[in-house]
Chains A and B, each alone.
Chain A
Amino acid sequence: MATTQPRASQSEFNRQLKKYYTFYTGGFVLFVIFLAIAEKMGMSNKWIGYFFLFFTIILYAGIGIMSRTLEVAEYYVAGRRVPALFNGMATGADWMSAASFIGMAGTLYLSGFDGLAFIMGWTGGYVLVAVLLAPYLRKFGQFTIPDFLGARYGGNIVRSFGVLAAILASFTYVVAQIYGVGIITSKFTGLEFGIGVFVGLAGILVCSFLGGMRAVTWTQVAQYIILIIAYLIPVIWLSVKHTGIPLPQFVYGGVLEKVTEREKQLTADPKEQEVRKIFAERAAAASAKAAKAAEVYPAEKAAAAKKVEDLKAASAPRTEVEAAEKAVKDFPGDAKAAATKWAADAKAAQGRSAPPKPHGTPFPGKDEKARDTARLNFIGIVFCMMFGTAALPHILMRYYTTPSVHEARVSVFWSLFFIFLLYFTAPALAVLAKYDVYTQVVGKSFSELPAWVNAWRAVDATLLNITDVNRDGIVQLAEIVIGGDIIVLATPEIAGLPYVVSGLVAAGGLAAALSTADGLLLTIANALSHDLYYKMINPNATPGVRITVSKFLLLGVAIIAAYVTSLKPGNILFLVGAAFSIAASAFFPALVLGIFWKRASKWGAIAGIVAGLGTCLYYMVHTYPTFIQWFGTTPIQKWWGLEPISAGLFGVPIGIITIIVVSLLTPAPDRDVQELVDHVRYPNLKGDISTEGT
């Protein structure tokens, strides 16, 4: 078969790659050292931020330009000669998004054991990729995931559903990435969010526009190296600070014990209880106001205005006056709006009146039923993240790019290994950061807080807000409100590292977001240009036309995605989770049964995709508040209390059952399809058909 490169050229290529990337890593380390020296000599933080941002984007652009191509196989699958190790790194960067890099440790900090569902889900899915999909898709060897569905089930209906689901899942996910790019660029350079989005977008496009998959692959390898260095250095330093050992992943068990001990102290501490009681009272007051909003609205409004006057008369501190004036300015316009706001206030205060959530305890809850629901939701998230991993087109596509089936299998191993390096560090970071906050911040007086606390309080109150609720001059845990993202962003400062490391972390976060966005945009553009345009509309298009169409679509999709992002649509973690549930419900059953069950028929697949995706979407739009608002649907009772993010837990099994039932009711697929299935099952068969795309 013509799948394999001649041996000498492939191993020569491999050697060269290793040489290039070793030089590259060395160069990057030198660059960081150079900036560290510059910082010592007085370079300002702002300039360090700029240097990191623009240097790395120019670097990615450079790789993009060097990898420009007009050949179809190069453009869509990087010429199918990416060695397993490098494909592993590229998949790692493709996979780990802004949510993994910045959000993950924060989620773990805030939700303790329950957050580990994402850690397990986002790694365990690769087992499914490895044993159920990657080697078979590689043997099939076309360009996109709808390609496989189209060939296996025949006809354009299945292919179109594949295109639709690929776009739906990838688009939801890409919006979350561009959002992350905007946040990082604006945070570290002071540019506005909107401008940050477009700077980042330029960075994304220079890679993928000129060289397609080939450019994206080699950029992603470069991005992986930056992001993993940026993630590990601060955590290692923090570990040395608290344990004296530079291997955080192996020693944080002891720190977790200390955190658990401290949680018990803080739960029993009288000062903490006093603050929690104040919040409980505020919650009660706010919900009382919300209940009879219409009656109390005028009096409350007048009281807010009067407070400003009183404070001014008493010549209170400027900050208090400003806070009171802001309260008047933001006062709800009518009684109905006030009721909503007070209900939300009550809920927030209620949350803060609870004792600290025990970090190491699985499924804490007030009674048996609450604990069972927590357990079901934990399993639901693990399930959806795993099956979504094994169905997201931008990940599966990467296994088309290796030189052989064997290399595809090995490359899944490297993929998970490189992902594992970050994912087994994140829980350690969460515990170390928590220990730091519980011992270095809680219990200290407001005048002797660590420098990083004051710096971040000033930057953004949603990330870190501490108010002396009981006015004793001491910080209580219940007085702290912390946003998850701060954990990764502030770790260098918590660990007492120079600002250059903060810049490095920003560059790492940017690398994570850009690499994922690249892979996703390319998936969408390929689904449209290859599956829709070339396979369905104009099969006679020349390679040049196909690539040009793809490039213009890429540009168009990127601009639409940036526009949607600028509307700031809701909860990022939910968007990402939704993409996984959607992909799992739509693709997983049809792909896996297509390989392992020859009897799976065209109509079975169509019915399965419709039923799986339909169930998933139905559940989401009837249980997720934002969607209910958007689409004006009637809310339904959650089935067994399962959260909408895990809708795939229903979608996947329904999809599988539907395919089996409908396939058995319809005629078996013909001989060609049976041959195709045999073809993908064996890495090499004598007298075999060839399906490799050119």
Chain B
Amino acid sequence: MQLTQTHVDYWHKNLVLTSILLVIWFIVTYVMAWFAVPLAEVKFFGWPLSFYMAAQGSLIVYVVIIGFYAWKMRQYDIEHGVHEGETD
């Protein structure tokens, strides 16, 4: 099994994508929680913003992150010729 340049690029792109998504994940989770007290002063459709984020906003971001990852990685798979046979 020999890895070619395109394989190396694929893995590199994957790492970049993974890191970016994890940074977003970190911000909406931990940075938000750290500053929850000041953020509670901001109102969002009736909710204090930190309450809204912890109860709903962050969750929506998580779902979007995972969906985006699956979609983008599929593109990378095909671009670099490492995709599997069709299954669905």
Contact = CB atoms under 8 A, between A and B. Distances in A.
Contacts of A254: 45-46
Contact of A379 (B30, B47, B65): B30
Contact of B83 (A410, A427, A683): A683
Given A406-B70, A689-B1, A424 B56 contact: yes
Contacts of A403: 87-88
A126 B7 contact: no
A362 interface: yes
A250 B20 CA distance: 29
A256 B47 contact: yes
Contact of B30 (A382, A416, A683): A382
A249 interface: yes
A379 B83 contact: no
Given A361-B40, A406-B87, A407-B87, A130 B51 contact: no
Contacts of B10: 682
A133 B37 CA distance: 33
A530 to B, nearest CB: 25
A335 interface: no
Contacts of A679: 1
Given A7-B86, A257-B46, A362-B50, A130 B70 contact: yes
A416 B63 contact: yes
Contacts of A249: 56
Interface in B57-76: 58-60, 62-63, 65-67, 69-70, 73-74
A120 B58 contact: yes
Interface string B3-24: 1000100110010001001100
Interface string A2-16: 011101001100100
A116 B45 CA distance: 19
Interface string A665-689: 0000000000100110111110111
A307 interface: no
B82 interface: yes
Given A253-B45, A412-B66, A413-B67, A127 B21 contact: yes
A689 B40 CA distance: 54
A46 to B, nearest CB: 37
B54 A682 contact: no
B9 to A, nearest CB: 12
Interface in A375-391: 375, 378-379, 382-383, 386
Given A407-B87, A684-B84, A363 B18 contact: no
A588 interface: no
B8 to A, nearest CB: 10
A1 interface: yes
A123 interface: yes
B36 A362 contact: yes
A685 B46 contact: no
A124 interface: yes
Contacts of B87: 4-5, 7, 10, 403-404, 406-407
Interface in A401-419: 403-407, 409-410, 412-413, 416-417
B22 to A, nearest CB: 7
A420 B63 CA distance: 8
Given A116-B54, A409-B70, A416-B62, A678 B36 contact: no
A127 B84 contact: no
A360 interface: yes
Contacts of A124: 25, 29, 58-59, 62
B42 interface: no
Interface residues of B, number: 49
Nearest to A131: B18
A417 B63 CA distance: 6
Contact of A363 (B14, B30, B36): B36
Nearest to B44: A253
Interface in A274-323: none
Contacts of A423: 59
A371 interface: yes
A113 interface: yes
A132 interface: yes
B1 A688 contact: yes
Contacts of A681: 11, 14
Nearest to A127: B25
A83 interface: yes
B58 to A, nearest CB: 6
A584 interface: no
Contacts of B29: 120, 124, 382, 386
A14 B88 contact: yes
Contact of B74 (A255, A362, A406, A427): A406
Given A406-B83, A412-B70, A123 B47 contact: no
A685 B7 contact: yes
B46 A253 contact: yes
B38 to A, nearest CB: 10
Contacts of A424: 55-56, 59-60
Given A130-B65, A375-B36, A412-B70, 17 more contacts: A5-B87, A11-B88, A113-B54, A119-B59, A120-B59, A123-B58, A130-B66, A255-B46, A360-B48, A362-B37, A363-B37, A407-B88, A417-B63, A679-B1, A681-B14, A683-B77, A683-B84
20 contacts: A1-B84, A120-B33, A120-B59, A126-B62, A126-B66, A127-B22, A127-B62, A127-B65, A130-B69, A249-B56, A255-B46, A379-B33, A382-B29, A382-B30, A404-B84, A404-B87, A406-B74, A681-B14, A683-B77, A684-B83
Pairs A-B, 4 closest by C-beta atoms: A253-B46, A362-B36, A116-B54, A409-B70
